[in-house]
Amino acid sequence: MAINKRDKFEKQEIELADFAKAIGHPARIAILKVLAQKDICICREIVKVMPLAQSTVSQHLKELRKAGLITGTIDGVKSCYCINRTTFNKFSEKFNQFFNKTKTVLYKINCC
Protein backbone atom coordinates (compact mmCIF):
# COMPACT_ATOMS: atom_id res chain seq x y z
CA MET A 1 0.00 0.00 0.00
CA ALA A 2 1.84 3.00 -1.37
CA ILE A 3 5.22 1.76 -0.19
CA ASN A 4 8.00 3.79 -1.74
CA LYS A 5 10.02 1.77 -4.24
CA ARG A 6 12.06 4.76 -5.38
CA ASP A 7 15.46 3.35 -4.43
CA LYS A 8 14.82 0.15 -6.33
CA PHE A 9 15.41 2.04 -9.55
CA GLU A 10 18.59 3.23 -11.20
CA LYS A 11 19.98 6.64 -10.33
CA GLN A 12 19.65 7.84 -13.90
CA GLU A 13 16.01 6.72 -14.02
CA ILE A 14 15.19 8.55 -10.80
CA GLU A 15 17.01 11.68 -11.92
CA LEU A 16 15.23 11.82 -15.27
CA ALA A 17 11.84 11.06 -13.71
CA ASP A 18 12.31 13.76 -11.09
CA PHE A 19 13.10 16.35 -13.70
CA ALA A 20 10.13 15.28 -15.81
CA LYS A 21 7.92 15.51 -12.76
CA ALA A 22 9.21 19.01 -12.01
CA ILE A 23 7.92 20.22 -15.36
CA GLY A 24 4.90 17.90 -15.23
CA HIS A 25 2.38 20.63 -14.46
CA PRO A 26 1.12 23.30 -16.86
CA ALA A 27 1.70 26.03 -14.26
CA ARG A 28 5.37 25.15 -14.03
CA ILE A 29 5.80 25.06 -17.80
CA ALA A 30 4.04 28.43 -17.93
CA ILE A 31 6.33 29.88 -15.26
CA LEU A 32 9.43 28.74 -17.14
CA LYS A 33 8.06 30.27 -20.33
CA VAL A 34 7.34 33.54 -18.58
CA LEU A 35 10.81 33.65 -17.07
CA ALA A 36 12.47 32.91 -20.40
CA GLN A 37 10.33 34.78 -22.87
CA LYS A 38 9.05 37.80 -21.04
CA ASP A 39 10.82 40.56 -19.24
CA ILE A 40 9.45 39.28 -15.96
CA CYS A 41 11.22 37.87 -12.97
CA ILE A 42 9.61 39.50 -9.93
CA CYS A 43 7.33 37.11 -8.12
CA ARG A 44 4.42 39.56 -8.06
CA GLU A 45 4.59 39.90 -11.84
CA ILE A 46 4.59 36.15 -12.29
CA VAL A 47 1.56 35.85 -10.03
CA LYS A 48 -0.19 38.56 -12.06
CA VAL A 49 0.00 36.60 -15.32
CA MET A 50 -0.84 33.27 -13.73
CA PRO A 51 -4.41 31.95 -13.24
CA LEU A 52 -3.63 30.85 -9.70
CA ALA A 53 -3.53 32.29 -6.20
CA GLN A 54 -0.31 33.82 -4.94
CA SER A 55 0.28 31.03 -2.47
CA THR A 56 -0.16 28.40 -5.16
CA VAL A 57 2.28 30.14 -7.49
CA SER A 58 4.73 30.33 -4.62
CA GLN A 59 4.37 26.61 -4.15
CA HIS A 60 5.09 25.91 -7.82
CA LEU A 61 8.11 28.22 -7.68
CA LYS A 62 9.34 26.21 -4.74
CA GLU A 63 9.04 23.00 -6.75
CA LEU A 64 11.03 24.47 -9.62
CA ARG A 65 13.64 25.70 -7.18
CA LYS A 66 13.82 22.28 -5.54
CA ALA A 67 14.53 20.77 -8.94
CA GLY A 68 17.26 23.34 -9.46
CA LEU A 69 15.59 24.78 -12.54
CA ILE A 70 15.29 28.28 -11.16
CA THR A 71 17.06 30.42 -8.59
CA GLY A 72 15.44 32.95 -6.32
CA THR A 73 17.13 36.01 -4.91
CA ILE A 74 15.58 38.47 -2.50
CA ASP A 75 15.79 42.13 -3.49
CA GLY A 76 14.18 44.25 -0.84
CA VAL A 77 10.58 43.11 -0.41
CA LYS A 78 10.66 41.60 -3.87
CA SER A 79 11.80 38.16 -4.89
CA CYS A 80 13.51 37.79 -8.22
CA TYR A 81 13.34 34.44 -9.98
CA CYS A 82 15.48 33.37 -12.87
CA ILE A 83 16.08 30.21 -14.81
CA ASN A 84 19.22 28.41 -13.71
CA ARG A 85 20.97 28.01 -17.04
CA THR A 86 23.42 25.43 -15.76
CA THR A 87 20.80 23.03 -14.48
CA PHE A 88 18.43 23.77 -17.34
CA ASN A 89 21.10 22.97 -19.92
CA LYS A 90 22.26 19.90 -18.05
CA PHE A 91 18.79 18.44 -17.93
CA SER A 92 17.82 19.34 -21.47
CA GLU A 93 20.97 17.48 -22.44
CA LYS A 94 19.99 14.43 -20.34
CA PHE A 95 16.56 14.40 -21.94
CA ASN A 96 18.10 14.60 -25.37
CA GLN A 97 20.38 11.71 -24.56
CA PHE A 98 17.44 9.64 -23.35
CA PHE A 99 15.36 10.40 -26.42
CA ASN A 100 18.21 9.82 -28.83
CA LYS A 101 19.37 6.61 -27.20
CA THR A 102 15.81 5.29 -27.24
CA LYS A 103 15.37 6.21 -30.89
CA THR A 104 18.72 4.71 -31.93
CA VAL A 105 18.09 1.39 -30.26
CA LEU A 106 14.56 1.30 -31.58
CA TYR A 107 15.96 1.64 -35.06
CA LYS A 108 17.75 -1.70 -34.63
CA ILE A 109 15.20 -3.99 -33.00
CA ASN A 110 11.61 -4.18 -34.04
CA CYS A 111 9.20 -6.68 -32.54
CA CYS A 112 5.73 -5.16 -32.90
Residue 89 touching its own copies (CB under 8 A)? yes
Q: How far is the CB of 86 from DNA (least distance, A)?
A: 20
Q: What is the DSSP string of 99-112?
A: HHHHHHHHHH----
Residue 10 is given by DSSP the state -
Site string for its own copies, 37-76 (x = CB under 8 A): x-x-x---------xx------------------x-x---
Nearest-angstrom CA–CA distance, 22 and 64: 6
| Residue 47 binds which of its own copies, DNA, none (CB < 5-8 A, kind-dependent) | DNA
Q: Select from its own copies, DNA, none the partner in contact with residue 105, using the beta carbon and a kind-dependent cut-off of 5 to 8 Å.
A: its own copies
Nearest one of 19, 51, 46, 18 to 31, comparing CA atoms: 46
